[in-house]
Amino acid sequence: MGRAAAFGCLVAEVSVRIVRYAVGGVQYYGELESGGIAIARFEGDPFTGFSLTGCIDQVAEAVILPPVERPRIFGFAYNYASHVDETDREIPEVPVCFMKPSTAVVGPGEAIVYPADGELIHFEGELVVVIGKEARHVKPSEAYEYILGYTCGNDVSDRVVQRKESAFGTLLIGKGQDTFAPLGPVIATGLDPSGLSLTTRMNGTVVQSASTADLLLPVPEIVSYLSRYLTLLPGDVIMTGTPSGVGPIRPGDEVEVEIEGIGVLRNPVVAESR
């Protein structure tokens, strides 16, 4: 029968790199095979159940899409001490959460659009959790039962707008503009998120280098905290926070976020055209 239709069993047993992609304008999920040049196509999806079709697609002939289509996006701010230090703030007493609109999502290779009126736009490389099934009142010890896997993310932020909003206790436009949530390239299952290396490069130069071991609120606590107050749904994604080293982007730049066991999320920056 191949891969189990109940994907939760698969997550616990093996590591798989799930990719969402299109061939000939038709969208599919599949497993990125070793070597990264071919995809074993699924019938169905990893959230409701799937099976292998036996069809193999070539990556060179596919368009790699964001791993989840228009997800709810939750974010955790100030979740690395090193980033808290570089912002001259105190470690927060409670987790600082925000949301990005689903329309902020772009996939690997897609452009981050630099707003025409932008003044200071920053990259933020992050580990992203992908929720696999509905979760409410989840204990930290149970959190992995609700996680499908992990992907790379870039929490692009307009600092000028963000600071003005934050002064009045809100946070939307500074974080939520179109293209401000690159995700991908795959959902990696079966990973231990407690000590993954995270590297961000700007035009080939390393600007962030950290380990998820340094998260102030680790992944199980993040899932538990959110599910204490709201219901998490299959396909929700959680940006877990960024380490120190955040900095500005400009049109013409290329940002890469690489996380151990997942791969490289690469996005160019282009100027907005109106």
120 C-beta neighbours (distance < 10 Å), count: 14
Q: Which residue has the tokens 């996006």?
A: 73
Residues 225-263: pLDDT tens digits?
A: 999 999 999 999 999 999 999 999 999 999 999 999 999
Residues 119-175: pLDDT tens digits?
A: 999 999 999 999 999 999 999 999 999 999 999 999 999 999 999 999 999 999 999
Average of pLDDT values for 106-110?
Answer: 98
What's the residue count for the chain? Answer: 274
Instruction: Calculate the average pLDDT of the chain.
Output: 94
Residues 37-87: pLDDT tens digits?
A: 999 999 999 999 999 999 999 999 999 999 999 999 999 999 998 888 888
- When computed from its CA atoms, the radius of gyration of the chain, rounded to whole angstroms, is 18
Residue 84: predicted pLDDT: 86
Spatial separation of the C-alpha atoms in residues 152 and 182, rounded to whole Å: 8
Residue 34: predicted pLDDT: 81
Q: What is the pTM of this model?
A: 0.94
Label residue 12 by pLDDT band (50, 70, 90): very low
Contact 80, 242 (CB under 8 A): yes
Tokens of residue 59, six digits: 């990556």
